[in-house]
Amino acid sequence: MAIINKVTVGPSTVLFPVPTVLVTSGLAGSNPNIITIAWTGVMNSEPPVVYVGVRPEGRHSHRLIKESGEYVINIPSAAQARVVDYCGTVSGRHVDKFKETGLTPVPASHVKAPLIAECPVNLECKVRQVVSLGSHDVFIADVLAVHYSESVLNEKGRPDLDKIKPYGYCLNEYRLMSDKLGSFGYSRKE
């Protein structure tokens, strides 16, 4: 058996990469906001349940999501990396991020928060539970609808990752997830 030297660094969030998404939220009578989120993921398949983690202190979107009970997860493509980074570095309390970035808000079908037209995938979400964990509150939500840009669907009407070009966030960098290693179950096929 090989001896592998390891260095222990203590507890940390080193699951990488994590998805990079733009989350939209809003209240009646106010401008909708966009926040860049990397703490997001799937919690359940049936029914579809997702989450976003948002810092409660000083985050404009935290208040909007908490008060409205809804949000939209917008999955950007690699072409939108600069906009994604920008939306994570300025507060919507002081800046209209839709105006500043040129992104287009589109009415959603089930929630008041808008979709981002330029993002190839959008998930409309209704908050079912909020869990305070320390640095972040986790907004657990039911997925009410998913929207795909027609341009990212294959001939069978399914999403094509090569067309979407999703990317992740790890170690303070945005990284493409592009090389296919195999399909589910490939290790059992001869």
Domain boundaries, the chain: 18-178
The CATH classification of domain 18-178, taken from the options 1.10.1200.10, 2.30.110.10, 3.20.80.10, 3.40.50.720: 2.30.110.10
User: How confident is the model over 17-42, as pLDDT tens digits?
Assistant: 889 999 999 987 789 999 999 999 99
pTM: 0.93
CB-count exposure of residue 78 (10 Å: 0-12, 13-18, 19+): middle
Mean pLDDT of the chain: 94
Cβ(78)–Cβ(161) below 8 Å: no
CB-neighbour burial class of residue 33 (10 A; exposed 0-12, middle 13-18, buried 19+) = buried
Asked if 125 contacts 118 with a C-beta cutoff of 8 angstroms, the reply is no
Other beta carbons within 10 Å of 138: 17
